[in-house]
């Protein structure tokens, strides 16, 4: 059974620490093993630190070029399960990602800020996944939204998406209602950023482009540089914030119920859909239609039955005002 006891399957963090105090930044690549832009960008930045082209002025930065080593070696999304779902310490680890979670969760807790570099399946332009607004609710209480927003606006990406966990929780509750209505099924929606926020960090997922897009590693590289400068970890000008980014709120998630469920055509993330427009057809012939005017997000024609098939998003007013931070 694969585990971290095998040295070849252990992540290899690279840590730089300055004498002056400052934020503690964690940068992750390849949480999903078929997303290669993060490792390429992180290795490029690490090489610049190693030969003196970059120098840490304050604080600490930890780079993990390849987080899910097993999945990365096989060039597939996951090794034995999705590391970025249901993330948390595992009392009795069984599969590789359970062992990896027990290694990763303390690392997340030891940092103030997380930037998690990803890519996506269908063509499209990069975007940042943002956490909730400040709240003391039961789902994802948070008190660092202003810091997270300020960083998100300075990564050089003009599309921002919010609403992941509430939307996923609602879908999980629908999925599990018949068998276990009392269970906290939303925990399956917790990934690196949600777990990091739960232990006090601010955290961003950055989707740098389509998996095979040659521009995605450059986007990831630029994001790391902007994060280092914005947080004051290096002596470099703080990037100007993006003004009036396109901001979308995930509102609905649709699962694939049957392997034969199919889209009516090859959707791309952020394609526009109109209320009542047919997006897909269930195996039994029932059309699946858009619940409102919006955008389709994360369409996955290859999704397994019982897994998320696509999301639908609407415009958000979160950054309607000009940023002043």
* Percent of residues, the chain, with pLDDT higher than 70: 95
Q: How confident is the model at residue 224 (pLDDT cuts 50, 70, 90)?
A: very high
All domains of the chain in start order, with CATH? 7-244 (3.40.630.10), 247-315 (2.40.50.100)
Task: Please state the pTM of the whole predicted model.
Answer: 0.93
User: What pLDDT is attached to residue 182?
Assistant: 38
Gap between the Cα atoms of 236 and 226, Å rounded: 9
Q: How confident is the model at residue 308 (pLDDT cuts 50, 70, 90)?
A: confident
Tens digit of pLDDT for each residue in 107-134?
999 999 999 999 998 888 999 999 999 9
Of residues 139 and 53, more confidently modeled: 53
Q: In this structure, what token pair is assigned to residue 127?
A: 């975007």
Kind of pairing, strands 14-17 and 60-64?
A: antiparallel
What does the angle CA 202 – CA 208 – CA 214 come to, to the nearest 5 degrees? Answer: 155
Query: Which of 58-79 are b and which e, b meaning 16 or more Cβ less than 10 Å from the residue's Cβ?
Result: bbbbbbbbbbbbbbbeeeebbb
CA 236 to chain centroid, in Å, comes to: 26
Tens digit of pLDDT for each residue in 146-156?
999 999 999 99
pLDDT greater than 80 at residue 55? yes
CB atoms within 10 A of CB 8: 8
Of residues 322 and 244, more confidently modeled: 244
Nearest in space to 115 (alpha carbons), one of 206, 24, 197, 181 = 206
CB atoms within 10 A of CB 55: 12
User: What pLDDT is attached to residue 186?
Assistant: 57
CB atoms within 10 A of CB 281: 15
Mean pLDDT of the chain: 92
Lowest mean pLDDT among 64-73, 90-99, 185-194, 260-269: 185-194
User: What pLDDT is attached to residue 183?
Assistant: 41
Instruction: Compute CA distances 274 → 24, 124, 291, whole Å.
Output: 44, 19, 8
User: What pLDDT is attached to residue 171?
Assistant: 78
């Amino acid at each position: 059974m694969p585990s971290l006891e095998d040295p070849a399957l252990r992540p290899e963090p690279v840590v730089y620490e300055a004498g002056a105090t400052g934020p503690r930044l964690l940068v992750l690549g390849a949480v999903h093993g078929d997303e290669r832009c993060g490792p390429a960008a992180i290795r490029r930045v690490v090489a610049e630190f190693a030969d003196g082209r970059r120098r840490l002025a304050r604080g600490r930065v930890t780079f993990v070029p390849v987080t899910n080593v097993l999945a990365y070696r096989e060039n597939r999304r996951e090794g034995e399960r999705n590391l970025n779902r249901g993330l948390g310490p595992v009392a009795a680890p069984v599969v590789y990602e359970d062992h990896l979670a027990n290694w990763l969760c303390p690392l997340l807790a030891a940092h103030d800020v997380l930037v998690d570099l990803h890519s996506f399946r269908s063509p499209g332009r990069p975007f940042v996944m943002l956490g909730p607004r400040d709240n003391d609710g039961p789902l994802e209480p948070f008190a660092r939204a202003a810091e997270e927003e300020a960083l998100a606006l300075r990564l050089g990406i003009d599309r921002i998406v919010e609403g992941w966990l509430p939307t996923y929780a609602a879908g999980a509750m629908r999925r599990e209602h018949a068998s276990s209505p009392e269970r906290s099924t939303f925990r399956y929606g917790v990934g690196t950023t949600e777990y990091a926020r739960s232990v006090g960090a601010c955290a961003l997922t950055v989707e740098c482009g389509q998996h095979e897009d040659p521009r995605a590693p450059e986007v990831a590289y630029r994001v790391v540089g902007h994060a280092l400068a914005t947080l004051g970890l290096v002596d470099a000008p703080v990037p100007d914030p993006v003004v009036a980014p396109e901001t979308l709120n995930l509102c609905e998630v649709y699962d694939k119920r049957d392997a034969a469920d199919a889209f009516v055509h090859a959707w791309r993330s952020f394609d526009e859909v109109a209320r009542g427009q047919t997006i897909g057809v269930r195996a039994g012939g029932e059309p699946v239609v858009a619940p409102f005017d919006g955008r389709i997000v994360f369409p996955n024609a290859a999704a397994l039955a019982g897994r998320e098939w696509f999301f639908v998003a609407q415009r958000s007013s979160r950054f309607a005002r000009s940023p002043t931070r």
